[in-house]
Amino acid sequence: MATKRKYSKKASKKVEKVMRERKAGTLRSGRSGKKVKSRKQAIAIGLSEARRSGAKVPKKKSSRKKKSSKKK
């Protein structure tokens, strides 16, 4: 039984391209322009580029805000 793909082939190609750039030392982050050394950050950049180009990528998980409960 074939399962449904979470990420499209286009998305994996984008991540592959970005990982090569990282290994070559030419991958830079968007805002600051610093060189990207982290593998996780490189993957995140690749997925974000894929998302922008319209590839099938699941939505970003938003960080949960902690509620501060003060006891009186």
pLDDT, residue 58, reads: 86
Contact of 41 with 29, CB cutoff 8 Å = yes
Q: What is the pLDDT of residues 7-17, one digit of tens each?
A: 899 999 999 99
Whether the pTM exceeds 0.75: the reply is no
Q: Select from 33, 36, 58, 34 the least CA-distant residue to 48.
A: 58
16-49 residue pLDDT tens: 999 999 999 999 998 899 999 999 999 999 999 9
